[in-house]
Amino acid sequence: MTTIPSDDRYDITARSAGLRRRKLTEKAFAGLAVASAVIAVGILALVLGTVLHKGLSQVSLDFFTKARPLFGQTGGIADALVGSALIVGMAMVMAIPMSILVAIFMSEYAGPRVSVALRIVLDVLNGVPAIVVGIFVFGLLVVGRGQSAIFGAFSLAVLMLPMVARATQEVLEIVPRSLREASLALGVTRWRTTVSIVLPTAIGGILTGVVIAVARVAGETAPLLFTSSIAANQVSTDVTHALPTLPVSIFVFSESPDPNEQAMGWAAALVLILFVLVLNIVAKVVAARQRRRSEGA
């Protein structure tokens, strides 16, 4: 019968105690992670439940086809939907091409120092509060000219530009360098390589970044309060004048003493949440499809 030396028994006991301690620590962190996920989902469920409970009663055909109501009348958000579509669409036209060009310059042409400097600039711009952007555009364009949908779109484009540029730049960095080198080795110019090889490879990630940026700016209120909030209660497509938008309409409805208009504000918030949800689902689907295509290739 062999006996284990006391030193070896002490080492075995210490290792067993250390193993139990590590397992308990792992279970504790796993429990904290699960609890955090449950809390996050619970908060989202609480927000959605509240919005559904207070706003679903106002959702009807008239709600989507009539303009914002006057005092004592019934109405809807048709004017706000049209105005938001026009302003967000113009913001996309302003921001997306410039954002992609900035990302291409950072990834394909700029040196390391210039690229790092541009990243810092974009990160700082991405962190600027929306209300500061609204005040900036107000002082730069609105003062002396009056509010207009174009100025509102410009303020949203300023917010969208750094988001799309950084997302596009990160996606372009993932494209294998071997694809660029193979194209350049065949005598293809750099700009042609970028347009024909790099961008098609990264198009899924670029679209994902664009969709997420659009979902973010579509709900911004502060810039539009300074640039496109004094609008008539009617459906209009004249972008040279201020147009009603969904976020501003939610703000106005929420400040109203009329319970019906407050309920309309909740209903408009529900529409905005569903719009953001649909855009995020589209972004996930596009990203998953592009990932499967890349894995298949």
297 residues of the chain, pLDDT tens digit each? 455 555 555 566 666 666 778 888 888 889 999 999 999 999 989 988 888 888 888 888 888 888 776 665 667 888 889 999 999 999 999 999 999 999 999 888 888 898 889 999 999 998 899 999 999 999 999 998 889 999 999 999 999 999 999 989 988 888 888 888 888 888 888 888 888 888 888 887 888 888 888 888 988 898 999 998 888 878 888 888 999 999 998 888 888 888 888 888 888 889 888 888 888 888 778 777 766 766 655
Same-domain status, 36 and 164: no
Number of domains present in the structure of the chain: 2
**C-beta neighbour count of 268 within 10 angstroms:** 28
Provide Rg for the chain, Cα atoms.
Answer: 26
Same-domain status, 87 and 102: yes
Same-domain status, 46 and 179: no
In a domain, 77, yes or no: yes
In a domain, 256, yes or no: yes
In a domain, 54, yes or no: yes
Q: Which of 47, 48, 86, 22 is nearest to 224 (CA)?
A: 86
Residue 286 belongs to domain spanning? 63-296
Same-domain status, 95 and 54: no
In a domain, 106, yes or no: yes
- Three-class SS string for the chain? CCCCCHHHHHHHHHHHHHHHHHHHHHHHHHHHHHHHHHHHHHHHHHHHHHHHHHHHHHCCHHHHHCCCCCCCCCCCCHHHHHHHHHHHHHHHHHHHHHHHHHHHHHHHHCCHHHHHHHHHHHHHHHHCCHHHHHHHHHHHHHCCCCCCHHHHHHHHHHHHHHHHHHHHHHHHHHCCHHHHHHHHHCCCCHHHHHHHHHHHHHHHHHHHHHHHHHHHHHCCCHHHHHHCCCCCCCCCCCCCCCCCCHHHHHHHHHHCCCHHHHHHHHHHHHHHHHHHHHHHHHHHHHHHHHHHHHHHC
Same-domain status, 101 and 168: yes
How is residue 47 written in tokens? 């927000």
Q: Note the pLDDT tens digit of each residue in 221-253.
A: 989 999 988 888 788 888 889 999 999 988 888
Q: What is the pTM of this model?
A: 0.83
Same-domain status, 41 and 112: no
Instruction: Put residue 187 in one of left, alpha, beta given phi > 0 → left and psi -120 to 50 → alpha.
Output: left
Same-domain status, 52 and 199: no
- Gap between the Cα atoms of 44 and 46, Å rounded: 5
What CATH number corresponds to the domain at position 192?
1.10.3720.10
In a domain, 1, yes or no: no
Same-domain status, 39 and 164: no
- Gap between the Cα atoms of 7 and 14, Å rounded: 11
Query: Quick one: pLDDT at residue 2?
Result: 53
